[in-house]
Chain A
Amino acid sequence: MTQGLRRPADRWRRLLLVPSLTFTTLFFIAPLTLLVALSFGTVDLLSYRTYLGWHPSNYLRALDPLYLQSILRSLAMSLSSTLACLIIGFPVALTLSRLSGKRQRVLLAAVIVPLWTGFVVRTYAVVEMLADHGPLADVLGVLGLAPDGLSLLHTPAAVVIGMVYAYLPLMVLPLFVALERIDPSQLLAASDLGAGPWSRLRRVEIPLAAPGILAGCLLVSIPMLGEYVVPTVLGGGKTLMYGNVIAYQFQEVGDYPLGSALAVMMTTLVTVGLVVGRQVSARAGRTS
């Protein structure tokens, strides 16, 4: 009798899954499957029609040193930008977590508000900022640091600055959540046991905020790896990241199979990296 009453409720609960399952299937699983299928296909370069088939040769071409080099470049730029986000974002998140009330809300809004503006618009704002005779050059000129103007735009450094600016809020927010969750009594206990501010930060707060640090690093480094807009706008077409290489195959060459193979390679690389990272952090958690 009880089971009979539960069944319709279970059915309704399962029905609630339908929208999310449909969405995931249509807009995640299906495109990913199509991408993998296309990566083994061929293209007619006259009409740019793509034909499905079994041609692993796309993956052999994807191993060309030209593409491997761009993977390494993307990894290096993504890692350095993530590190910069962490170094800049941690003190911001720590300050936010130590504030309360209206002050905290205002500063939190200051972190979030830039996200309300379009990504491309924000990137073009950086162009103006880094221009040879832009505001940054003016300030540095007044300080005597760049008397002849800046030559930063269209360089790898400009790409890193642009990515740090664009992704910083995504680092600050998980860090803030992790730091705010730390029980104040633990910090009090550390102080009572003689830990100074630096020691408390290093031995209590940073370890307790580790999940937030990991989440922030993943949130910013993964999209940075495939970044397309920032290097296009700020790199001057001279600093190609892997996202640009993939886009070139789709937009300029029209070779969807090779573009798909390059994209699958990147997806695989990121997935393997995530799995390994997860195992390493799980092992570290067990040993500590």
Chain B
Amino acid sequence: MTTRRAFLRRGGDAALLLAAAGVVSACGKGGEAPASATVGGTITMMNYPDWMGKDEVAKFRAAFPGTDVKQVSGLTSGAAQALTQIRQNSKSYDMTLAGGATAGQIQAAGLTAKFDPAQVPLLSGIPEFYRKSFPHGVPVDIGKVGFGYRKDLIDERPRSWADLWQLAATHPGKVTVLKYADDVISIALLLTGQPAGADDEKSLAKAVDALRELKGNIRAFLPTDFSKDLITGDAVAAVSYDYDIATAQSKNADIVWVAPTEGMPGYVDGWLPLADSENLATVYAFMNHHLTPEVYGDFINTTGSAYLLPSAEPFINDSIKNNASLRLDTGNASAVQFADYNGPEGARRRADAFERVIGV
């Protein structure tokens, strides 16, 4: 008897073979060389640390003997670091992960190869909403910035960014905020009634004022371990990513996720092929492999992020599938404003605005 899981696995394998065939023919040398000669060798991917399925690379090596994926850590300090790292290693990097805004800038800077969706047949399994939100490559996960609070430590039941500002004032030194310039500026813009992506001086000045007020009351801007203090109770609320709060909830059941009523900054992460790669066939094969339901399920279970591929649901842990903080209703996604790249001047003004907050 064929179970749904086995059926999906077999379907995934078949899709993988189809993808390999597609890659071979797309290279124009399909008739001249066998698939193994086209898809092979080691590709290098810039990635968040540990942002990969536990067995994902091993399974790719098994599916395509002679291939390997070397991951290099990056993308932890924003677009400037990411672009510089790619440019300095353009001859050796084949692909990268990037959020929408960073991906847009990498593309505008001419560092990406033109993405050909036809080379990734399994891409069709990703709903159109996400494909449109990330046109630069293969969308792999989404996230949004909200906050979590400890219902056992405070009487308030915050629902908005304004409530969070109030909470920080009434519980000084007990609220933490992630330290990622663009997201922090975005939440302050939403608080002050402006679009999360605004980059004009007037809007940013209001955001800076709001953040300076918040800074006086918070415990810390945290570059890592955003929810650690929330779990221990040293903080009563933490501004963080949905996947991070979801993980924190699994460690402390008293943590409540809040999707603020003013809206949330969001991002779609995706994989991009890079311009100077000499092994795009393997890059595309790996992208397609990633979208195999079982492999994608492994990726989501490892990272704990929100998933985009409905066919992978049988392989995704219930704790992730049933977590309210990770859900996004694509039919009513206006509450989440996805980051996009609006040009160098705007990005600079936003970076300068955050510096005016933390530098005083």
A residues contacting B by CB (< 8 A) are 44-49, 66-67, 69-70, 131-133, 151, 153-154, 232, 236-238, 240, 245, 248, 250-255
Contact = CB atoms under 8 A, between A and B. Distances in A.
Dominant secondary structure of chain A at its interface with chain B: loop
B35 interface: no
B83 A47 contact: yes
Contacts of A254: 79-81, 83-84
Given A232-B223, A237-B220, A237-B221, A253 B84 contact: no
Contacts of A238: 215, 218, 220-221, 358
13 contacts: A45-B347, A46-B105, A46-B343, A48-B109, A151-B173, A153-B220, A154-B220, A236-B219, A236-B222, A252-B78, A253-B348, A253-B351, A254-B81
A245 B77 CA distance: 14
B360 interface: yes
Given A66-B355, A248-B355, A48 B220 contact: no
A133 B228 CA distance: 13
Given A48-B80, A252-B351, A237 B359 contact: no
A66 B219 contact: no
A282 to B, nearest CB: 38
Nearest to B359: A66
B81 A251 contact: yes
Q: Which 5 A-B pairs have the closest CB atoms?
A: A236-B220, A254-B80, A237-B221, A45-B344, A154-B220
Contacts of B201: none
Contacts of B181: 252
A237 B352 CA distance: 15
Contacts of B78: 251-252
Contacts of A237: 179, 220-223, 358
B32 interface: no
Given A251-B81, A252-B80, A45 B179 contact: no
A132 B234 contact: yes
A103 B15 CA distance: 72
A47 B110 contact: yes
B232 interface: yes
A253 B80 contact: yes
Nearest to A237: B221
Nearest to A248: B355
Interface of B: 77-81, 83-84, 87, 105, 108-111, 173, 179, 181, 215, 218-223, 232, 234, 343-345, 347-348, 351-352, 354-356, 358-360
A171 to B, nearest CB: 28
B50 to A, nearest CB: 19
A31 B111 CA distance: 27
A46 B358 CA distance: 24
Contacts of B80: 48, 250-254
A252 B109 contact: no
A70 B359 CA distance: 7
A149 B181 CA distance: 31
Contacts of A255: 348
Given A47-B87, A47-B109, A252 B77 contact: yes
Contacts of B215: 238
A45 B348 contact: yes
Contacts of A151: 173
A248 B220 CA distance: 17
Contacts of A153: 220
Contacts of A132: 232, 234
B153 to A, nearest CB: 13
A236 B357 CA distance: 13
B223 A49 contact: no
A48 B87 contact: yes
B84 A48 contact: yes
User: Which of B78, B80, B356 is packed against the most chain A CB atoms within 10 Å?
Assistant: B80
Contact of B345 (A45, A131, A250, A251): A45
Contacts of A131: 234
Given A237-B358, A252-B78, A253-B351, A154 B219 contact: yes
Contacts of B110: 47
Nearest to B178: A237
Contacts of B234: 131-133
Nearest to A69: B360
A81 to B, nearest CB: 20
Contact of A46 (B108, B223, B352): B108
Contact of A66 (B105, B218, B344, B356): B356
Nearest to A233: B223
A252 B354 CA distance: 10
B34 to A, nearest CB: 39
Contacts of B358: 237-238, 240, 248
B353 to A, nearest CB: 11
B342 to A, nearest CB: 12
A131 B231 CA distance: 14
A133 B221 CA distance: 20
Given A154-B219, A154-B220, A253-B348, 14 more contacts: A46-B108, A66-B356, A67-B359, A238-B215, A240-B358, A240-B359, A245-B355, A245-B359, A248-B355, A248-B358, A253-B80, A253-B352, A253-B355, A254-B83
Contacts of A44: 344
B79 A236 contact: no
Contacts of A248: 355, 358-359
Contacts of A69: 359-360
A69 B355 CA distance: 13
Contacts of B347: 45
Contacts of B223: 232, 237
